[in-house]
């Protein structure tokens, strides 16, 4: 579900909320958007590594971003897990560790994986049903693909 989420949720220019159009859309409808005077300020985005304020006059911008998930390594990095998800996460860890054993030992851990996937499905359904801004996450995250199909 969150693979479809957009990385930038909202933006403000000079303290006022503004639109965040994709680069392809801005180039299509206003080719000189970088310097065009008289346009409504906006924050243009393209992927996760390009953000520009249009028009390019001196201004201040503020962005609300979604942080990337941490990558686990041996340095003591941790991931926060809610108490109701803890058993299913530990079960999945046990299932993945049993992969090297193979055979019947691995096959007996399949219910642990099913429990984990069921918990993920349950959490995703809850977020879709009760999540704040879920429709914004789904539609804005796909705006660039709609403007420029792959």
3-state SS of the chain is CHHHCCCEEEEEECCEEEECCEHHHHHHHCCCCCCCCCCCCEEEECCCCCEEEECCCCCCEEEEECCCCCCCCCCCCCCCCCHHHHHHHHHHHHHHHHHHCCHHHHHCCHHHHHHHHHHHHHHHHHHHHHCCCHHHHHHHCCHHHHHCCC
- Please provide the average confidence, as pLDDT, over all residues in the chain: 81
* Residue 90: per-residue pLDDT: 92
Q: Is the predicted pLDDT of residue 94 greater than 80, yes or no?
A: yes
Question: Does 12 or 66 have the greater pLDDT score?
Answer: 12
* Residue 117: per-residue pLDDT: 95
Highest mean pLDDT: which of 11-20, 32-41, 125-134?
Answer: 11-20
Q: Is the predicted pLDDT of residue 1 greater than 50, yes or no?
A: no
Q: Is the predicted pLDDT of residue 102 greater than 60, yes or no?
A: yes
Give the model confidence (pLDDT) of 52-86 as tens digits: 888 877 778 888 877 666 566 677 767 778 888 89
* Residue 108: per-residue pLDDT: 93
């Amino acid at each position: 579900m969150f693979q479809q989420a957009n990385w930038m949720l909202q933006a403000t220019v000079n303290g006022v909320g503004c639109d965040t159009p994709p680069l392809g859309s801005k180039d299509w409808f206003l080719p000189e958007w970088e310097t065009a005077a008289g346009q409504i300020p906006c924050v243009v985005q393209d992927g996760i590594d390009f953000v520009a304020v249009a028009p390019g006059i001196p201004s201040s911008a503020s962005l609300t971003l979604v942080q990337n998930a941490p990558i686990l390594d041996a340095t003591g990095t941790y991931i926060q897990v809610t108490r109701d998800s803890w058993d299913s996460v530990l079960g999945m860890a046990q299932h993945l560790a049993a992969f090297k054993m193979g055979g019947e030992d691995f096959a007996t851990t399949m219910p642990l994986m099913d429990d984990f996937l069921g918990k993920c499905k349950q959490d995703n359904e809850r977020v879709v049903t009760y999540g704040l801004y879920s429709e914004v996450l789904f539609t804005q995250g796909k705006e660039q693909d709609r403007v420029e199909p792959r």
